[in-house]
Chain A
Amino acid sequence: MLIGGLLAGVMYSLVALGFVLIYKASGVFNFAQGAMVFFAALTTVGFISMGAPFWLAVALALLAMVALAFFTERVVLRPLVNQPQITLFMATIGLAFFIEGIAQLTWGAQVHALDLGIADEPIEWLMRNTGMNISKFDLVASGIAAALVAVLAVFFNKTRTGRALRAVADDHQAALAVGISLQRIWVIVWIVAGFVALVTGLLWGARNGVQFALTFLALKALPVLILGGFESIAGAVVGGLIVGASEKLAEVYIGPHVGGGIESWFPYVLALAFLLVRPEGLFGERRIDRV
């Protein structure tokens, strides 16, 4: 049970990762991440249903996410530069509606199945030897998530662009002063977040079908972010694991006493309780208020 929860948590981590990336680089809390996941998955499935081979469809979807990144930077971020964070947050809510509308307008609103060619059934060898019920799909998903985190860590720490991204995250004005183009950085980070959304969308889509409910993923990622802290990639992963595991455990141990179905709000209450103790999250940066 714990393992199952942890593996579900990996999936949450992936969504949260997209949030953290954008928050780190631009200080924008991107509510549209869930919509982007939906859009990416739907675009892939749409191209496949038009007869494109899988890899071509993924490439085209990635292209769509790149276009979306340019569009977002030009239309939403650039005019709103220097606005309060809450304004930007509300703008991304608008963006989320916009993307959902576009996605459904283009590809229709039916539930699509997505087959990645990985069987979602328990691995017999593990079942026999350890009694653990782990599907091959979950393992592959965790592997992909781990690889993604590793790649991102290398990207942020070793490449020129990655360092520029971190500089922007630290201080917009100082970054501008040393000659880093904010607009270019924003486009890059939205592309990276789009890529993460695509991977997330493919994995979730293969598990649950590509449908509108994918957009609600964004909501599940919020407690993950609070637990992990908004600025930390490691936090997103750990927070995702905690949320995934704790909501399964709560459902099993507390759920029967109060009538079940507490998965929908338990992570939030957990995150809230956590906030009261440590407002900046596990790995977040402590904020100092100045007048």
Chain B
Amino acid sequence: MLYREAGQFKTTYAADQQLFPIRQDRIGIAILLAVVFVGVPLAAETPAIAGAIDFNYWFSGVLVPFLIFSLAALGLNILTGYAGQLSLGTAAFMAVGAFAAYNFELRVPGMPTLASFILAGVVAALIGIVFGLPSLRIKGFYLAVATLAAQFFVVWALTKFGWLSNYSSSGVITAQKLVVFGYAVDTPVKRYLLVLAIVSVMALAAKNMVRSSIGRAWMAVRDMDVAAEVVGIPMMKTKLLAFAISSFYCGVAGALYAFAYLGTVEPAGFELDLSFRILFMIIVGGVGSILGSFLGAAFIVLLPIFMDLSAASIERSFGFALPAGLVSNLTLILFGALIIFFLVVEPLGLARLWQIAKEKLRLWPFPH
């Protein structure tokens, strides 16, 4: 009842083609955007609420990483979920983005931050194309190995070539100050808003892209690449574009990771483990779903925090210390078990659960 699209007629082509065809979705998205852009920062400024919740922790410890990982997961989802090319090199492309943004800021005087973010994405896209070239010949696991080569090669190159990290020891870089259009982005709230704005714009762009002709070409290649080629989809352009755009997203995510989240990064921080974390996000959230990237990122970012909190509360209430490493190992086990669980029970992830809920909401609270 709440979610019925009956009575919503499309009278123009523009109305038929809009991004969110159902009115309830449009209202929902508008409310969500209003809450995250205006409501949350306002709440943080209100002394009564700000006193009760530690907003600085929430912004810089939870929300900002969640948004950045969502963006990276979005990038991987474009490549793996839509174009069907499994990649284990996500962290490498993030590293390229982070170091490229740092170098643009460092070496080009007066470079606007946003421009260096975009250029960082472009550099990551170029690297992505290079490592995507083998995808024209090989597929499946073989391609996964090719992206692994990207993973190891990039981390090695960033450590070895001092020029890239301005000759700091072991490649550690400290991101420059964030200044956007003359405003210094220096508090957690401002950083949150900046990341949120970038992520929203790029998510909308992605949502648009995957329903356009290029998105449909990706899905055709994913479902059966030989058949796609037979019906006239240019394989080289489609696959390389998927690599380029995916790497662009990952590159921007990496730049944000360095500039808005950590501040100081080193190549060793972009190891294979991070790539796996992002892969887990799209498996849990939903392969081939924009919404799924966000749900998965939220899940994977929140799970370790939740585990730590519950371990701390157990220690407090029972008055004994849990053995060191127990929590991290339990988290590891839980990650593994969840991956298998989702692949077995719900291969389309959390996004599919949301769809089922929507189906239910169409009738609820009436039986028919």
Contacts and interface: CB of A to CB of B under 8 A. Distances in A.
Size class of the contact patch on chain A: 35 or more
Given A101-B330, A279-B142, A94 B337 contact: yes
A75 B141 contact: no
A1 interface: no
Contact of B230 (A80, A86, A97, A291): A291
A260 B138 CA distance: 29
B343 A80 contact: yes
Contacts of A104: 325, 329, 332
Interface size class for chain B?
35 or more
Contacts of A97: 276, 332-333, 335-336, 339
Chain B CB count within 10 A is highest, among A94, A223, A279, for A94
A98 B341 CA distance: 12
Interface in A82-102: 83, 85-87, 89-91, 93-102
Contacts of A262: 156
Contacts of B58: none
A90 B140 CA distance: 12
B86 to A, nearest CB: 6
Nearest to B154: A265
B144 A89 contact: yes
Contacts of B138: 275, 279
Given A100-B332, A268-B152, A279-B137, A91 B227 contact: no
Contact of B152 (A98, A102, A265, A279): A265
A160 interface: no
Given A101-B329, A264-B152, A272-B146, A89 B86 contact: yes
A59 to B, nearest CB: 26
Interface string A250-272: 00000000111110110011011
A76 B160 CA distance: 41
Given A93-B276, A97-B333, A269-B149, A83 B347 contact: yes
Contacts, number: 127
Contacts of B245: none
A105 B336 CA distance: 14
Interface in B102-150: 134, 137-138, 140-142, 144-146, 148-149
Interface in A215-239: 219, 222-223, 226, 230
Nearest to A96: B336
B326 interface: yes
A264 B92 CA distance: 14
Given A99-B336, A105-B329, A94 B343 contact: yes
Interface string A263-291: 01100110110011001000000000111
Nearest to A75: B340
A76 B340 contact: yes
B127 to A, nearest CB: 14
Contacts of A222: 145, 148
A90 B276 CA distance: 10
Given A101-B330, A259-B160, A94 B146 contact: no
A272 B149 contact: yes
Given A105-B329, A261-B160, A272-B149, A98 B140 contact: no
B338 A261 contact: no
Nearest to A262: B156
B283 interface: yes
